Amino acid sequence: MSNEGSAVDVVMKREGWLAQAGNRYAAGIMGLILLGSLWALSIDTRYVYLLVYVWFGMVYGMFLQYGRFCMAAAVRDLFAVGVPRMAVGMMIAVALYSLIAATVTVGGFSTFHSNALGWHIVLGGLIFGFGIVFTGGCASGSLYKAGEGNVGSMLVIVAISFSQAIFVSAGTWFDGLLPSAWIESAAAKDMPAELSVTQGWFDIFTAGYVWDLKGATLAQILGTTNPFVSSYLVNTLLVTLLPTLAILVLLYAVYYKKGYLRRAKISAPALGDHARGMWSMFTSSKNTAIAGIGLGIFAGLQMWVTGALREHYQIYNFGELLSAMGHTDGLSIQETVFDPGYWYITTQEAQWGGWILEKLGVNMTDNIFFGLDNGLPNPLLNAPGFMSIGIILGAAMLALSRREFKWKLPSMETAVFALVGGTLMGLGARIGMGCNIGAFFATVTNGDPSGWVYLFGMTIGGYLGVKAFNMWIERRSSQQDECEL
């Protein structure tokens, strides 16, 4: 009897779960993803390479929504409201991802490429960090918030997409402002004429400046050859874990210690009290910490799965697989497409904007960014693009199920902030070689110190952004009678 009872309970519970409209919508989205996946696989099993991006994106979206995991908040909330929650969560994710990335690298499946280190990383980070204060979210934060029904965040994505596409393909408007040494250096690179690398500021910047810089992991700089030493001791311990620990201690000392000691009623703290205080800081927002752990682990796993698939298909880039499946439109002149193999956000969004502009008749492939490096694939065949869509859908599923989904139309102020901030984010991402994910999170965790330089720039940008934001709301408050803040 008791068994029957529990079976009935289970059925009741299941019906109860589906009785809520949000859960039904979430189940519907999951069903559509599964059906879409099966449909793609029934056409060609090699689409599994693209589907891996969708599925990992979906998992990222769920963790991001669950933990309110927005890296914009990591720097912004420190300066705006003195809350280190997200900065701590980000550091947890960085530490875990680095350990898994090291294992993946030792296993020979790493898909990572270092970024060239130069002043552009600080500048790009600064512009990006300034922009994210106004958009209310970083690049991946805007994706998960779009999944919560936030139309303002959707506008941010549109602004990031088009601003990048326009910046990287812009004509010769700003060429006169660039050093002539860059133009000479770009001309000396012997690139195909159709790319016109001596015209357009982004091409000259890339070929005449960035290509002359070096990008390397610390193990490559030091020349360590033992894979275990290179990955775990040099790249992970020195480049990731020690700086991460230093940042956590700093966050505790500046933003958490005082409140913790007051709450715990400790007047003369010993080292053990501070250790307990650090632990309290890690666990104070459990959702954020859990999201940090999950994101760190899955970001590492994605590199491993994609690396294994490349080995299986004997390819270096998804472009080869697309060619083999008969899709040659939208490949770069090297027959490649953007295919990082790990968590990345901004480049695929630039491709969406670029693809639409090309369809509107603009020549978008006479540049290095699309023409040589990343291609302009149809969005239906853009694998990392599906990771971004996966993030939106994953976040939407969880938000619907948690009854947190709400269509939210932006006010004029929020819309303007979204478009201007998103444009700054797009510009910063291209100058700095990525967003807080591609240029920071994925780099420091793979032993490339340039990511910390990006974070430094992003922190300064965030600080200046908060100053500007506060000035704006002070001005606005003084103009409004109903708000006496």
Comparing CA positions, the residue from 33, 106, 122 lying closest to residue 461 is: 122
Contact 75, 458 (CB under 8 A): yes
Question: Binding to another protein by residue 256, rule CB under 8 A?
Answer: yes
Each residue 84-103 as x (binds another protein by CB under 8 A) or -, in order, gives xxx-----------------
**Taking the complex as a whole, how short is the minimal distance between the CB of residue 473 and another protein, in angstroms?**
7
Residue number, 70 or 139, with CB nearest to another protein:
70
Q: Least distance in Å: CB of 46 to another protein?
A: 38
Q: Assign 150 to helix, strand or coil.
A: strand
Interacting residue with another protein among 334, 403, 416, 468 (CB under 8 A): 403
Tell me the β-bridge partners of 408: 150
Can you read off the two tokens belonging to residue 266?
Answer: 């400790």
> In this structure, what is the dihedral angle of CA atoms 109, 244, 67, 130, given to the nearest 10 degrees?
-100
Q: Is 470 in the site for another protein (CB under 8 A)?
A: yes
Which two tokens mark 103?
């294992």
In the complex, the smallest distance separating the C-beta of residue 157 from another protein, rounded to whole angstroms, is 14
Q: Binding to another protein by residue 155, rule CB under 8 A?
A: no
Query: How far apart are alpha carbons 267 and 263 in whole angstroms?
Result: 10
Between residue 119 and residue 148, which ones bind another protein under the rule CB under 8 A? Answer: 133, 136-137, 141, 145, 148
Out of 47, 56, 62, 68, point to the residue binding another protein (CB under 8 A).
68
Instruction: Specify the residue, 2 or 479, whose C-beta has the smaller distance to another protein.
Output: 479
Structure tokens at 207: 């070929």
Q: How many residues bind another protein (CB under 8 A)?
A: 52
DSSP at 114: P
Cβ closest to another protein, residue 261 vs residue 356: 261
Write down how long the chain is.
Answer: 485
CA dihedral of 477, 256, 236, 387, whole degrees rounded to 10: -40
CB of 265 to another protein, least distance (A): 12
How much is the CA Rg of the chain, to the nearest whole Å? Answer: 23
Among 71, 73, 381, 429, binds another protein (CB under 8 A): 73
d(CA 142, CA 392): 9
**Least separation, in Å, of the C-beta of 219 and another protein?**
37
Q: How far is the CB of 145 from another protein (least distance, A)?
A: 7
Q: Does 259 bind another protein (CB under 8 A)?
A: yes
Buried b / exposed e along 186-197 (16+ C-beta atoms within 10 A): beeeebeeebbb
β-bridge mates for residue 150, sequence order: 408
Number of H helices, E strands in the chain: 22, 0
81 forms part of the interface with another protein (CB under 8 A): yes
Identity (one letter) of the amino acid at 38? L
Nearest-angstrom CA–CA distance, 251 and 268: 20
| 473 contributes a contact to another protein by CB under 8 A | yes
Instruction: State yes or no: residue 288 binds another protein (CB under 8 A).
Output: yes
Residues that bind another protein (CB under 8 A): 67-68, 70, 72-73, 76-77, 80-86, 133, 136-137, 141, 145, 148-150, 152-153, 255-256, 259, 262-263, 284-285, 287-288, 399, 403-406, 408-411, 414, 466, 469-470, 473, 480, 482-485
